[in-house]
Structure 1
Amino acid sequence: MKIAGLDIGTTGCKLTVFNEQGKQLDKAYRSYPVSRAAAAHEMDAGALLDGVFAVLTEMGAKHPDLAGIGVTSFGETFVLADEQGAPLAPAMLYTDPRGAEECAALTGKLGAEQIARITGLAPHEMYSLPKLMWLKAHEPALFAKAKRVLLMEDFVVWHLTGVAQIDHSLASRTMGFDVQNLTWSDEMFRAAGLDPALMSTPVPTGTPAGPLTAKAARCTGLSGDCLVVSVSHDQVAAAIGAGAFDSNVAVDGAGTVECLTPIYDSMPRLDIMRCGNFAVVPYITPGSYVAYAFSYTGGALLQWCRDIFGKGKTNENMEAAYSGQGPTGLLVLPHFAGAATPYMDTGSKGAILGLTTATTAGEIYRACMEGVAYEMRLNYEALANSGIRFSKLHATGGGAHSRLWMQMKADMLGLPITALETVDAGTVGCAMLTGLAVGMFESLEQACERMVRKTETYEPRPEMTRRYEEVYKRYQGLYNAVRPLV
């Protein structure tokens, strides 16, 4: 038996095929364009769908016997569609500046505290609801034609199965979903002046939508019995793919973006979550939740540093270029693409402090690694009173292969970190839930045994923890010192 995970990203989609032992057999990737002008950030949902069918067709030619395909996608972005699901306009990306005034108006009606109580989110224009309000106000003729509002997961699932359903974790990225009652919030949609009937039916994470339609099977070369599964928002899929199923473990997603994902066995303290701009997202078992604490520049900052200061060098070269032990003495504010949690300040800028004529490129690179880790420590402390109970982390992404960075994070956080073999935990998590849906696995635990592979555990070193703590006390004041100047 074979299964596949379809991971839909902002700039491309990837289909990865696995066998019953959890071994990766094959994969296909297609990119699609994204437009980011000053006034609008958009993508062509039709081009995205073409990319999806291209990877399905490529893998269908090699593996026509796929038993199931799980679908996971990035969040917030939606497309207005007609009754048949055909896009009526470009999809608005989460980074699109439109919707700020509408978000403020919605917050004025209900209050930030009430919005957080219902949706688990601090109000922000990145979410779908304020952007839908903008479209209704500024493009009324277009909006009137819409019969469906589809995020990318349910957009693809609809075109594969003819079923309009969206999993709870992705639905929560709209700012219109009640995370406690697990349904669209009449109060939020009423205040926004929108009809929740436009939205797909919310279902638990990992719910099968049904088999491929005859048309989809014919186009892709796959069996008409191939089951399509609505998996989750990509960050939830990554947590599952990291083998994190309860509150004892959190996930360190060490990719382009740095993301700390703790798990809660019950609803966390919403006042703490709102103050830190942390999203509360339904997880895989009833009553459980995850939160996202993240920095826009994780591995992206290291890549920038390498490209600017280490022309032609690899990350390994840059790591080895500084031989000092412990903190560099430099302070790097890693807001090179704005500040994410706990600030959510897109206007914040990056900074490197403490430079001298003796400072080397290797030292700056090491300091950038430290800055990302200090920012995660800041988020860890902001979450401290929310109900977190994790005592260890599982690390995924390309950064998990850096022994230096893993040890640094363990020392800074004072927690053991286990690096996982896979870079694409989201794809693995997607396949795990798909395998469960088609009967390949009897439980998530069995799926984890076959598909989640640990490499090395890094234990915190008390002396290094103490030395990093001294620098961290200075780092805590860095944002407030720099922000008024930039």
Structure 2
Amino acid sequence: MTGSFGSDVSDASISAAGDIYTRDWSGEILDALEVRRDLFPPIVESTSVVGEITAEASEETGLAAGTPVCAGAGDMACMAVGGGVIKPGVVNVGIGTAGHALAFAETVSDAGYNQLWPICHAVPGKYIWLGCTYTGGRSLAWARDQFGERFEDLTAHAESAPVGSDGLFFMPWFQGAATPNPDPHARAGWIGLTLHHTKGHMIRALMEGVAFDLRHSLECFKRLGSPIDELRIGEGGAKSELWSIIQADVFGQDVRIMETREVSAVGAAIIAGIGVGVFADFESACENAIVLGETVRCDTDRVQQYEAYYQRYCELYPILKDWFRQ
């Protein structure tokens, strides 16, 4: 678009060749691999203006020649901005194809490694902790494809089952486990099925399992000392009233639904707006651009029930990890 090459700091920081502390390429890593430094493009902060739309790019895209182009950020860094995760206390959880949890960090601690992913934030000098489950919403999409029913019908079945699905658990590890046990060998499945269980139990257990898996990330944030004062949920999972209630109860905290569905796109627009001076700073930009909806209240009784089920869920991976690898 501009005729120049470069990388924004967020993408570079998760490339395995980046140094998140210096926000540059890691000479130590490149030297160890005998890879030349000059093969890598310069790294710039996300809000940096890196060039303008060229005449050729204008002809191909329809964008006006001379339009300034900012470095931007990767999908999770954009989602953090679009979700308002630009200061301590605001945490974003989303169930899309995967499932993620994002927390703001002033600095990065080694204590979070091998459980969470540290990413350089689009906010200069700041960081994001990313926790995830690889197949959050994709788990329900798989069930939709296998049962041949719409999402609305599946969730209607799930509403007929009680909290905890009468002891039925689901592990959403279709493509391996992520936070806090990164393991490509882990696999999905229901455990605890009896003749008493129905399709409704199976779907509710699936929805609960995704929420349990995402709670792992929130527990990691807490261990790192990251406050969770406001918990915002978004993406496809927030369209389901039942799944939103399950999240609030499993997390043990009220959740605020984000009305804006394309959160990453909003984040990218905010980054560009700051880069060209439309917005003065991230805080004012987020206040203007992010639309928040209703608050889903957690229920004390359900929270207590889910606490017991979550502790049982936490036992599954340690018990099964050797079996998965064999």
> TM-score scaled by structure 2?
0.94
Aligned mates of 1:378, 1:224 — CA distance in 2:
47
2:164 to 299, 318, 327: 327
Pair 1:252 & 2:93 matched? yes
1:142-166 deviations in whole A, cap 9, x for unaligned? xxxxxxxxxxxxxxxxxx1122221
User: Does residue 448 of the first structure (1) align with residue 289 of the second (2)?
Assistant: no
* 1:263 equivalent in alignment to 2:110: no
**Counterpart-to-counterpart distance in 2, 1:378 and 1:279:** 13
Specify which of 164, 168, 184 is matched with residue 25 of structure 2: 184
Task: Give the residue type in structure 2 aligned to 1:294.
Answer: C
Residues 224 and 275 (structure 1), Cα distance of their counterparts in 2 relative to 1, 3 Å cut: closer
TM superposition shift of 1:290: 0.4
Which of 315, 319, 322 is the aligned partner of 2:151?
315
* Corresponding residue SS for 1:368: helix
The one-letter code of the counterpart of 2:99 is E
In the TM superposition, residue 263 of structure 1 has moved relative to its aligned partner by 0.9
Give the total of aligned pairs.
Answer: 322
The structure that has the greater radius of gyration is 1
- In the other structure, the counterpart of 2:300 is 462
Quick check: 2:54–2:66 contact (8 Å CA) kept in 1?
A: no
Identity of aligned residues (%): 31
1: CA distance between counterparts of 2:304 and 2:5? Answer: 53
**Where do 5+ consecutive residues of structure 2 fail to align?**
none
Q: Cα RMSD over matched residues?
A: 1.6
SS at structure 1 position matched to 2:113: helix
**Where in structure 2 are the equivalents of 1:405-484 lying within 5 Å?**
405-484=243-322
Alignment of 1:182-261 (within 5 A): 182-261=23-102
Post-superposition Cα deviations, 1:332-356, rounded to whole Å, max 9, x if no partner, equal: 1111111112222111111201112
How far does residue 379 in structure 1 lie from its aligned partner after superposition?
2.7
Q: Deviations over 1:348-407 (max 9, x none)?
A: 111201112232112111100000111112232234322311222111211111121112
Q: Name the aligned partner's letter for residue 187 of structure 2.
A: K
For residue 292 of structure 1, report the CA deviation from its aligned partner.
1.1
Instruction: Give the aligned partner of residue 155 of structure 1.
Output: none
Structure-1 separation of matches of 2:251 and 2:73: 29
Whether the 8 Å CA contact 1:244–1:251 is kept in 2: the answer is: yes
Per the alignment, in what secondary structure is the counterpart of residue 355 of structure 1? coil
d(CA) in 2 for partners of 1:274 and 1:437?
31
Residue equivalent to 1:47:
none
Shift of 1:287: 3.5
Where 2:139 maps in the other structure, the secondary structure is helix
2:126 counterpart of 1:288:
yes
* 2-structure distance, mates of 1:214, 1:225: 8
Structure with the larger RCO, 1 or 2 (CA within 8 Å, 6+ apart): 2
Paired position in structure 2 for 1:97: none
C-alpha change, 1:285 and 1:219, in structure 2 (3 Å) is: closer
- Tell me if the contact between 1:251 and 1:394 (Cα under 8 Å) persists in the aligned partners: yes
Deviations 1:28-71 (A, max 9, x none): xxxxxxxxxxxxxxxxxxxxxxxxxxxxxxxxxxxxxxxxxxxx
Give me the whole-angstrom Cα distance separating, in 2, the residues matched to 1:360 and 1:214: 61
Partner residue of 1:27?
none
Structure 1: unaligned runs, 5 residues or longer = 1-159
User: Displacement of 1:247 after TM fit?
Assistant: 1.4
SS in 2 for 1:463: helix
Deviation at residue 475 of structure 1 after TM alignment = 0.8
Please say if residues 269 and 387 of structure 1, whose CA atoms lie closer than 8 Å, have aligned partners that are also in contact.
no
* TM-score (ref. length: structure 1): 0.64
- The question of whether the paired residues in 2 share the 8 Å contact of 1:250 and 1:392 is answered with yes
Q: Which moved more, 1:255-264 or 1:283-292?
A: 283-292
- What are the equivalent positions in structure 2 for 1:25-104 lying under 5 Å apart? none
State the Cα deviation string for residues 127-185 of structure 1 (Å, max 9, x = none): xxxxxxxxxxxxxxxxxxxxxxxxxxxxxxxxx11222211111111112111122212
Q: d(CA) in 1 for partners of 2:239 and 2:296?
A: 12
Instruction: Say if 2:110 is the partner of 1:274.
Output: no
Deviation per CA, 1:216-267, whole angstroms, max 9, x where unpaired? 1222332212111111111010111112211111111210100011111x21
Specify the code of the residue in structure 2 equivalent to 1:273: G
